[in-house]
């Protein structure tokens, strides 16, 4: 019958006896009597079921049970901040109410999609108060509650600046009408009043106590920069917001806001969400250079140019958002063809080439919207794929400057 003796008990018994003189050194004797050394010897000596069950759960099944499943998503530092975000970031502009935009997926489809994202380690979700007039934020809040997702395991990013229409109507308000009504006069822009109101409303829709990353959606030239930056700083100090970022604007506007915060000892932006992809590289002239030089993380929207970089140029898009687009310029056709050729050469998906190019250019994480799990998995499969300098030069060959768009 096998007797189960713990390593510490065996160690005590052996050390209490007189040890016979042997050629071994004192250090070697002490090493032999260490619990870890005894454990190794006892594995060989005791093979009984009692001893194995209580002391050595080494079956393959046990090891599989104890191991943590490796997520498909990877995580990167957001610029020089301490915040880590998933790659890619899930873009929730496509989640909400079809009355807002026809290509939006509604709650019944969106909830399981968000669960699938979390299960794959894609834990960073980007939304905005204006997406589907708040419905996007509400669905994210419902997903967290429905699937019992621990709040601290998610990175929720939202935005303020635009106006959310009151009531259940998804219609977008005309900007020229907003300032003329008592209901919306202080509910848009980047004044202290508007920012605080927007954050409180977003917290209610998300059903959460804090926002991980609050981004200003556009620059507001009607409000003093000091007022905006102090309001954002106070939100961070209050705990309602952990980090702040900005979205599409001119580089001089962004730099001015950063310098204002630095001068006054206030919280600075840690991220810039601008449009950036192989077909639109205008941000390389100023914004991207400034951000990379100062440690601001780049989290671009439109990384695949609404699917143009994910399929041959002669193939129509399969989603409502990608159909009905104007003719593709000849210069863009050349770049798309290069993406297709390089993808075939490397046996990659075209989207993987486009996403790998962004990583090569210093992007922290691209924001990708998904209409189904298959597209999500395709984006996640780009993990670890890298391009050479020669590949990058080939992809960029033929690019022609474009008119700047996306700025407020």
| Residues annotated catalytic, as ranges | 131
* Cα–Cα distance, 310 to 326 (Å, whole number): 17
295, 265, 278: which is closest to 366 by C-alpha? 278
Backbone angles phi, psi at 19, to 5 degrees: -90, 125
Rounded to 10 deg, the angle between the 373-380 and 350-360 helix axes is: 50
The CA distances from residue 379 to 153, 161, 295, 388, in Å, are 21, 30, 25, 20
Contact between residue 197 and residue 186 where contact means Cβ atoms under 8 Å apart: yes
At a CB cut-off of 8 Å and minimum separation 6, what does 81 contact?
Answer: 243, 270, 271, 295, 297
Angle at the Cα of 160 (from 233 to 87), degrees rounded to 5? 90
Number of H helices, E strands in the chain: 16, 10
Neighbouring-strand partners of residue 157: 126, 213
Cα angle vertex 207, ends 152, 196, to 5°? 100
Which residue's structure tokens are 């899930």? 90
Beta-ladder partners of 368:
90
Q: Which is nearest to 75 in space by CA: 353, 384, 388, 354?
A: 384
Residue 213 bridge partners (DSSP):
157, 243
Coil/strand/helix, residue 193? helix
Q: How far apart are CA 6 and CA 24, in angstroms?
A: 25
Of the CA atoms within 13 Å of residue 328, those in its CB half-sphere come to 24
Residues facing residue 372 across a β-bridge: none
């Amino acid at each position: 019958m096998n007797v189960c003796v713990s390593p510490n008990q065996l160690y005590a018994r052996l050390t209490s006896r007189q040890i016979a003189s042997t050629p071994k050194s004192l250090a070697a004797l002490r090493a032999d009597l260490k619990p870890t050394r005894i454990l190794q010897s006892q594995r060989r000596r005791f093979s009984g079921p009692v001893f194995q069950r209580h002391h050595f759960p080494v079956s393959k099944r046990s090891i599989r049970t104890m191991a943590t499943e490796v997520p498909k998503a990877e995580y990167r530092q957001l610029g020089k901040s301490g915040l880590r975000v998933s790659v890619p970031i899930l873009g929730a502009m496509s989640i909400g109410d079809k009355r807002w935009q026809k290509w939006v997926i509604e709650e019944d489809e969106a909830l399981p999609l968000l669960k699938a994202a979390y299960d794959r380690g894609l834990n960073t979700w980007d939304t905005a108060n204006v997406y589907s007039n708040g419905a996007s934020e509400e669905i994210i809040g419902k997903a967290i509650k429905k699937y019992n997702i621990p709040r601290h395991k998610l990175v929720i990013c939202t935005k303020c600046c635009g106006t959310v229409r009151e009531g259940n109507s998804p219609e977008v308000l005309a900007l020229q009408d907003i300032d003329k009504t008592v209901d919306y006069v202080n509910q848009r822009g980047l004044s202290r009043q508007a920012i605080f109101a927007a954050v409180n409303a977003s917290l209610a829709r998300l059903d959460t106590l804090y926002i991980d990353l609050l981004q200003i959606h556009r620059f507001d030239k009607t409000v003093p920069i000091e007022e905006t930056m102090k309001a954002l700083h106070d939100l961070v100090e209050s705990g309602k917001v952990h980090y702040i970022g900005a979205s599409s604007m001119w580089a001089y506007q962004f730099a001015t806001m950063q310098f204002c915060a630095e001068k006054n000892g206030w919280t600075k932006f840690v991220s810039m969400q601008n449009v950036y992809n192989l077909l639109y590289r205008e941000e390389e002239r100023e914004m991207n250079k400034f951000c990379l030089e100062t440690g601001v993380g780049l989290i671009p929207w439109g990384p695949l140019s609404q699917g143009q970089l994910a399929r041959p140029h002669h193939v129509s898009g399969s989603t409502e958002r990608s159909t009905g687009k104007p003719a593709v310029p000849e210069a863009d056709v050349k770049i798309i063809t290069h993406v297709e050729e390089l993808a075939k050469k490397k046996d990659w998906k075209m989207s993987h080439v486009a996403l790998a190019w962004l990583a090569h250019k210093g992007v922290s994480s691209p924001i990708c919207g998904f209409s189904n799990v298959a597209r999500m998995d395709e984006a996640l499969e780009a993990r670890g794929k890298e391009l050479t300098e020669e590949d990058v030069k080939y992809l960029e060959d033929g690019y022609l400057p474009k008119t700047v768009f996306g700025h407020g």
